Structure 1
Amino acid sequence: MFAAGVVFGGAPPAQAADEIVIGLQCDRTGATQVVGVKWCPGYHDYVALVNSKGGIEGHKIRVVEIDHEYKVPPAVEGYERMKKEGAVLIGLYGTPHTYALTQKLTEDRIPGTSPGFGRADATDGTKYPYVFPIAATYWSQGAASVKWAKDQLAGLKGKKIAYLFYDNPAGREPIGVLEDLAGKEGFQLKTFAVPPPGVEMGAQVLDIAQRYRADFVIAHLFGRSPSVSIKELKRVGYPLRKVVSFVWGSAEADILAAGGFAVAEGYAGLQFAGVGTDHPVLDEIRAMYKKQGKQPPEEMASTVYYNRGPFVAAVHLEAIRNALRAKKGGKITGEDVKNGFERIKGLSLAGLAPPDFTLTPTDHEGGGWVQIWQVKGGKFVKAADWFREYRDVVQKHVKESK
C-alpha cells in the first residue's frame, strides 16, 4: 500500500515548491497491525493539525506512507520510493527494518527514527548519526522493567525473574542488559523464547509458573503475542500483578484482545508517550475534526498506540522547524533535519512526551524515560510517572557497542 498525505491509494502529487516531504513506514496489514492501525492515523492527524495552522515556518508537510506489512524487503523498497519523493526524514517501523536501513540512511544522509524499537546502540549519535531512537530503547526498557520488579518485590536478591520474549532481533536485544542487572542485583534470570509468529507459548508459560516458579515476569512481546501471554498466564493461575510488559504489549488493544480489562487486572506496561484522552493536543485534533463537520476517528479511543503518533510527529516536525530556522529559504536536506533533531531542547507536549524532552549529538534516545500504566478497576491507571534507571549499565552497553 502506498499513500501520500492522509489520502491512501492513487498517484502521489508532484512535490510543491513550498512543501516538505516525510516518509512514514507502517504496518497496517501484517503481523503488528494491531499497532500500525492506531499509531499511523495518529501521526497523520497531528500533521494535518499542523498543516491546518499553516504548516511549519510557512511550509506544508506531506507524508508519504507505505505499509510494509512488517516485512523487510517492502520496507527497503519503500525507502527508495520515499527517497525519490524527496523525503528529508523517514519514520521507521520495526527493529529488523531499522537494521536493514541503517547503512542506507547513513549513506544518503537522511535521518530515520525508531521510537521504542530499533537498535539501542543508535543512542550514540557519534556512531550512528542518522538513526534516532527518540524514545526509550529496548536496553532502557529492560532496565526500567527490572526497577519496577524490584519495587514490587521489595528487593531482587535471590529472586527468580523470567524474561518472556518474541524470538527475533528485537526480542533478543535486551538480554545482555538483563544479564548484567541480574549480576548487579543478585537475582536469577531465565529466558523463555517464543518463536514467530508468537501465538503459541503455552509450554513456556507453564514452565515459568509451575517449574521455574518465577517471582516476576518481564515480557517483551508484540503483535498478537501480548494478548496470548495474558490469556496463558491467567490460565495457569500466574498473578498478572507480577508481570510487566515492554512498550509493545501494553495497549488497550492488547488488553481487549485478551478478553478485556476485567481479565487483565494487575497487568502493567511501560509507556514512552502519554496515555489517555486528557491531553491538550488531542483536544485540538478533536476540534479540528469538529470544524470539518466530522466525528473524531475511532482510533483515538485506543490511546496507547494512537497517542504515540502525535508524539513522534511532534518530534519530527520540531526537527524540521529547527532545520528551517537554521537555513533560510526552505530548501532543507536530510542532513539539515538530522542537525535539527540534535538541537531539540525542552520540547513539551503537556504530558504526551517526557518532561524537558531533549536530543543531542551524543544522545539520540532522549534520555530513556518511561512511565508505568497498570490495569486497575477496569482501566489503565498511571502507576509510575516518568523515570529511568540503571543508566550506568545502559550506557556501558551503548559505549561498548560496535
Structure 2
Amino acid sequence: MKLWKKLAAATALTVVGTGAMAAELYTPNLAYRTGPFAALGIPLMNGQADYMTLLNERDGGIGGLPVNFEECETGYSTEKGVECYEKTKGGALVTQPWSTGITLQVLPKTNVDQIPILAPGYGFSPMSEGGTFQWAYNPPASYWDGAYMILSDIAGGDMANLKGKKIAFLHLDHPFGKEPLPLLEQMAAEHGFELVPIPVGLKEMQNQSAQWLQVRRERPDNVIMWGWGAMNSAAIAEAVKTKYPMDQFYGVWWAGHDPDLAAVGAEGKGYKSISWSMPQPDSALMAEIKEKVIASGKTQTTEDQLNSVFYQRGLVMSMILAEGIKAAQAHTGNAEITPADLRWGLENLDITEEKLAELGMAGMVPPFATSCDNHTGHSGGWILEWDGEKFVQASDLLQADQSVIEALAEAKAAEYAEANAPWPVNDSCGG
C-alpha cells in the first residue's frame, strides 16, 4: 500500500519501541518571510507554525503523529511558489500556496497530483464551487464575501444606500488585487454606484503619489483598499498626508495589519478593515501557546506579535488544517491519511461555537461549515476599526448575501472549466 507521507530527514525520524520508524503528517507551507510582503508574512507564518508546534508539544501531533510544518520560502514570487510546490509535493498531504497568483498556477495541477490546496481567506473566489474545484479550499470566507461585507457596511446594511456614491478601488495590480473586481463591478451595475479602479503596480507600492493624486481628483465617497505588504503602509501614510477622511477608508483583511496603523497612530483613527478573525489575547489557546511554545523558545514569534490581528489569524489558519486532518482520521479510522482522505476532511469541517470553545478559540473566528459543494463555508466577518492605538471590533457579525455570491461563483467556475477543458467536474456534489 502506498503511504502518502513524507519521512523526514534522519534527525527528524522517531524510533519507536519496536525499532520501527514512526510516520508523520507532512503539511508544507509555501511561506514568504522575505521580500516586499514579509512584514505581513512573518506574523502570519509564526502564528501558523506556533499552532502546529503546540499540537506537537502538547498532544504529540494529531492522532498520535507529529506534524512536519516545513516551510519553503517563496518571497511571494509566483515562479518560486511553483518551484516550492514541485519540491514539496512528494508525500505532502496539502499545499498551502500563500498567494492568489501561486494558487492560480497550482490549481490545474491539483486534478493530476490530487493534493488539496488549502488557501484560508484567499485565492480564487470560485474555488467555493466544490463540484468544479474538487481539490481546492478557501475557508472560512472568500474575497467576494469580503468585498460584499465592506459594501454592506458602507451602505449601513441597505445596498440601496449605495446609489449615487463614488467608490475608489485602490488595489495591487496583481491577481490578488484584481480578484474582487467581478463582484464589485456587478454590484456597481446593480446598485447604481460608480466604481473607480485605481491599480498600484508592484514597483509603485511605496510611492503612490500618482494614485493619491487621482483619489484627490476623484473625491470618492469611500476608498476600498485591496492591498498587501508595503502597499498598505504607504497608502495609509498617503491618506493621512492628503487628509482623506479615515472613517471612509476600508481595507480587505490583509490590510488590517497593526504596525501599518501604529506608524500613523492617532492620525489613522477611523480606518476600517473587514476581518474573518478576531484577536482574543485572553483566550485559553493563547495561554497554552505562551506556556508550551513561547516560554520554551520553540518559536520565531516576538512578544509584540502575540496579540496582533495577523499572528492570531495564523493560529486560526492552522486550526482549520488541523481540524481537517482530525476529521479525515476519524472518517478513515487511521492516523496515517492520504491527500484524498484530507480532501474529505476539508469538505466536512464543522467549526461550531462549541468546537471553538473546546479548542480555546472562542470568538477568534465565526462558526462555519464546509461540504462537497461548498469549499468556503462563508463564515462572515467583522469590521475592525483603528481607535488610534489598536484595532477594535466595530460591527456585529456581517454576512454576504450568498444568493449573489453563489450565482457569480457558479458562472465563473463554469467559465474556468470551459476555458481549461477538459476539466473534471464532480456532478454528484449537487448544490
TM-score (norm. length: structure 2): 0.85
Partner of 2:406: 395
- After TM superposition, the structure 1 = structure 2 runs for residues 248-287 of structure 1, keeping only pairs within 5 Å, are 248-256=254-262, 259-287=263-291
Distance in 2 of aligned mates of 1:125 and 1:20: 24
Q: What's 2:323 paired with?
A: 318
CA offset digits 1:16-55 (Å, max 9, x no partner): 5331110111100022111111011111111111112222
Q: Distance in 2 between matches of 1:121 and 1:293?
A: 40
**Residue among 307, 311, 331 paired with 1:306:** 311
Q: Structure 1 pair 42/34, CA: closer, same or farther in 2 (3 Å)?
A: same
Aligned-pair CA distance for 1:359: 1.0
Alpha-carbon distance in structure 2 between the residues aligned to 1:124 and 1:389 = 16
Out of 180, 183, 189, which is 1:183 matched to? 189
Instruction: Give the match's secondary structure for 2:395.
Output: strand
Aligned amino acid, residue 230 of structure 1: I
C-alpha distance after superposition, 1:354-379 (max 9, x if no partner): 12x21111111111512110011422
Structure 1 stretches of 4+ with a deviation exceeding 4 A read 293-296
1:351-362 mapped onto 2 (5 Å cutoff): 351-355=363-367, 357-362=368-373
Q: Distance in 2 between matches of 1:75 and 1:191?
A: 28
Instruction: Give distance in 2, aligned partners of 1:116 and 1:73.
Output: 22
CA contact (8 A) 1:370 1:388 kept: yes
How far apart, in 2, do the equivalents of 1:299 and 1:17 lie? 37
Between the aligned partners of 1:324 and 1:389, the Cα distance in structure 2 is 32
CA contact 1:165–1:220 (8 Å) conserved in 2:
yes
- Provide the C-alpha distance between the structure 2 equivalents of 1:183 and 1:327, rounded to a whole number of angstroms: 48
Q: Give the conservation status (yes or no) of the 8 Å contact 1:194–1:200.
A: no
Q: Report the secondary structure of 1:35's partner residue.
A: helix
Post-superposition Cα deviations, 1:214-262, rounded to whole Å, max 9, x if no partner, equal: 1111111111011111111111111110011001111102213xx2322
Describe the shift of the 1:14–1:378 C-alpha distance in structure 2 as closer, same or farther (beyond 3 A): same
Root mean square deviation, CA, Å: 2.4
Distance 1:399 1:290 in 2: 44
1:369-397 per-position Cα deviation (integer Å, ceiling 9, x unaligned) = 12110011422110013221232222121
The equivalences for 1:339-354 within 5 A come to: 339-347=344-352, 348=356, 349-354=361-366
- AA of the residue aligned to 2:287: D
Match 1:202 to one of 209, 212, 229: 209
> Equivalences for 1:41-52 in 2 at 5 Å?
41-52=46-57
Give the aligned partner of residue 35 of structure 1: 40
Amino acid of the structure 2 residue aligned with 1:344: L
Give the Å deviation of 1:12.
7.5
Name the CA shift for 1:322/1:152 in 2 (closer, same or farther; >3 Å).
closer
Higher strand share: 1
Across the two proteins, how many residue pairs are aligned to each other? 390
Q: How does 1:1-400 map to 2 (within 5 A)?
A: 13=12, 16-52=21-57, 53-84=59-90, 86-151=91-156, 155-197=161-203, 198-209=205-216, 211-256=217-262, 259-289=263-293, 292=296, 297-298=302-303, 300-301=305-306, 303-347=308-352, 348=356, 349-355=361-367, 357-400=368-411
Change (3 A) 1:12 1:371: farther
- SS for the counterpart of 2:52 is helix
- The 1:181/1:288 distance shift into structure 2, 3 A limit, reads same
1:14 Cα deviation after fit: 5.2
Look up the SS of the partner of 1:378 in the other structure. Answer: coil
Residues 291 and 219 of structure 1: CA distance in aligned 2, closer, same or farther (over 3 Å): closer
Query: CA separation in 2, counterparts of 1:149 and 1:272?
Result: 17
Taking the aligned partners of 1:252 and 1:99, their CA distance within structure 2 comes to 29
Q: Deviations over 1:66-111 (max 9, x none)?
A: 1100112221121122222x21112220010000111222211111
Report the residue type matching 1:375 in the other structure.
W
Q: Deviations over 1:160-194 (max 9, x none)?
A: 11111111111112112111111222211111111
Distance 1:128 1:260 in 2: 42
Contact in 1 for aligned 2:279/2:307 (Cα 8 Å):
no
Aligned partner of residue 350 in structure 2, secondary structure: coil
C-alpha distance 294-170 of structure 1, shift in aligned 2 (>3 A)? closer
Q: Which residue identity lines up with residue 48 of structure 2 in the other structure?
A: Y
Q: 1:18 touches 1:330 (CA, 8 Å); kept in 2?
A: no
Helix, strand or coil: the match of 1:381? strand
- Aligned equivalents of 2:252, 2:42: Cα separation in 1: 19
1:63: Cα distance to partner? 1.0
